[in-house]
Structure 1
Amino acid sequence: MTVDISAFNQFGNRPKKITTFVESNLVVSYSRVSGKEQFDTNLSLETQTKAIEEYCRRNGKTIAASFGGTYESAKTDGRKEFKRMLDYIAKHKARSARL
């Protein structure tokens, strides 16, 4: 199944290109908070991780790798964990397509 997710191309400073979605049961997770306010309002990293794991369990998804777990601002593309996740996805996308 191919789904047009070109609306997401507006985010980030990566070169604009056609993006396709490949349905797979193999996923990566990303959690992040930008400050103490999110932590104090129950949007902590642990809460996010539990929600991601529960979603995957309910929907038959397997988490191949987890990223984030840090306090990083979403106002910039300079987020190290986010970039690390994108690099992981690019490196392992062939594996995902086979599953």
Structure 2
Amino acid sequence: MPVLTAMTELYEDRERGVVDYAKENQLSCRETDVLRSHLSGMTKAHQPVFLRIAESTHRNTLGKVRAKTKSLDNAQLILEFEAWLRRRTRGY
């Protein structure tokens, strides 16, 4: 049971982190949802289906997220979020 509790807390911390990261970078609701789906590890083809938006809308929205966060590509976006989350949880 402690493992389940730890996993739940980890998920909740990450979810709060996504919301705080979105606020800090002034992302819209759709941009936050696209960021969340991108960070979740879903396959690229499944993300727009999950969000019920067109692939082109998903691609364009992810581009807007990268522009607002000043990330060069999708991989860098993930790395920057993970680094931001580590700094936030450590209190830096």
Measured against the shorter chain, the TM-score band is 0.3 to 0.5
| Greater relative contact order (CA < 8 Å, ≥ 6 in sequence) | 1
TM-score of the two chains, using structure 1 as the length reference: 0.33
- TM-score, with length taken from structure 2: 0.35
More helix by share: 2
Q: Higher strand fraction: Structure 1 or Structure 2?
A: 1
